[in-house]
Amino acid sequence: MTIKIITGMAGGGKSTVLDSLEDMNYYCIDNLPPNLLGEFIRLYERMETDRKNMAVCMDLRLGVFFDEVPQTLDYLRELGYDVEIIFVEASDQVLINRFREVRRSHPMEEGGKTSEAIRLERRLLAEIRKKSDVVIDTSKLTTYQLKKKLTTLFGDKEDFQIIIESFGMKNGMLEDSDFVFDLRFLPNPYYVEGLKELSGHDEVVRNYVMADPISLETLKRLTHFLDLCVEQFKKTGRDSIHIGLGCTGGRHRSVSFSLLLRTHFEELGYSVLRQDREQL
C-alpha cells in the first residue's frame, strides 16, 4: 500500500491536494492523529474496497500530536509501507492575500498579526519539510493548475488513462485536450427555477438534461465515437486521452455529461480521471 502524507502551510493548498488524490482513487482522511494511523491502516486493509492507496493530511492543527508524525512514518516504513510526504507551501505574501480573500484568520494568529503567525508556522514545520519527498510551492498556481500538476506527479502511469474535463466556454477554451465537445445546444438548467444554483453533480440536474431526446442521442453518439478513439489511441502507444466537455458556464450540462461518460468508461474497465476546470 502507498500512503501519502500531506502537510505544509495553512493556506498552501493541502485541501486541494487531498481532493485531487481522492479523484485518483486514494482513500483520504483529513488530520488523523498519528498514534491512530497504524491501527486505522490495519482496519482499512481488512475492508472490501477498490481504493488500494491512502492519503492522510497531517498539519499543526494536531497540536502536540504533530510531533509524533516523523516517528510514526518511520515505523510504517519499517513495516514495508511505501510512505511519501508531500509538503505544500507558498510565499508569505501569497498566504496573507489568501487569508484576506476568504476573510479568515490564520489558525495560529493572535491579535491580527498574520505575518507573525506564518513565520512561526514556517519555523515549526522546517524539520518535516526537510524530510519531505515532494515540496510544492503553490504561490503561482491556480487551483486548476495545482490539480494538473498533481495529476502529472501522481496519476497512474501504468494503465491507459481517460481524462474527462468539464469547463465553461465563457471562461475560455480548454487547453491541452485531444477533443473538445460543445454542449451549449442542449437544454440549459440555468434557466430553470430551482436548478440554477445546483450543478451536474446533483441528480435532479442530470435528469433534467437527459430528459431531452437530443441529449440522449448526443450521449449515445458521443460514447460510440469515443469508444473508437480510445481504442485507436491505445494502439498508437499513447498512455492517455484528454476529453473536454464545454457548456456556457461549465456547471450544468458539461458536468452532467462528464459524470455519465466517466461511468461508461469505468464500466468498461478503464482508469478514468474526471475533473471540473471551473470551481463549482
pLDDT over 80 (residue 156): no
Q: Which of 131, 154, 177 is the last residue of a domain?
A: 154
144 and 172 part of one domain: no
- Does residue 86 sit in the same domain as residue 138? yes
pLDDT, one tens digit per residue, over 14-52 is 999 999 898 888 999 998 888 888 888 888 888 877 777
Residue where one domain finishes, among candidates 125, 154, 183: 154
**Listed residue (53, 116, 117, 118) closest to 86, CA to CA:** 53
What pLDDT, on the 0 to 100 scale, is given for residue 130? 93
Q: How many domains does the chain have?
A: 2
* Pair (69, 107) in one structural domain: yes
Residue 157 has pLDDT above 60, yes or no: no
Both 239 and 137 in one domain: the answer is: no
Alpha-carbon dihedral angle through residues 27, 175, 144, 56, given to the nearest 10 degrees:
20
Helix, coil or strand: residue 215? helix
- The reported pTM is 0.60
Cα atoms in the 13 Å half-sphere on the side-chain side of 254: 28
| C-beta separation of 163 from 273 below 8 A | yes
Shared domain for 128 and 50, answered yes or no, is yes
Give CA–CA dist 43/13, Å, rounded.
29
- Across the range 129-157, mean pLDDT stands at 85
- When pLDDT is averaged across residues 275-280 and rounded to a whole number, the result is 82
Say whether both 187 and 60 belong to one domain. no
Question: Stretch 216-223: mean pLDDT, rounded?
Answer: 97
Backbone angles phi, psi at 32, to 5 degrees: -80, 130
Q: Are residues 148 and 182 in the same domain?
A: no
Q: Bridge-partner residues for 244, per DSSP?
A: 165, 180
Same domain, 142 and 251: no
Please tell me whether residues 117 and 206 are part of one structural domain.
no
| Residues above pLDDT 90, as percent of the chain | 59
**Which residue range is the domain that position 107 belongs to?**
2-154
Q: Are residues 40 and 88 in the same domain?
A: yes
Amino acid at 211: A
- Residues 143 and 17 grouped into a single domain: yes
User: Across-strand partners of 26?
Assistant: 53
Are both 32 and 142 inside the same structural domain?
yes
Domain final residue pick, 114, 133, 154: 154
DSSP state of 46: T
In this structure, what CATH number is given to the domain that contains residue 10? 3.40.50.300
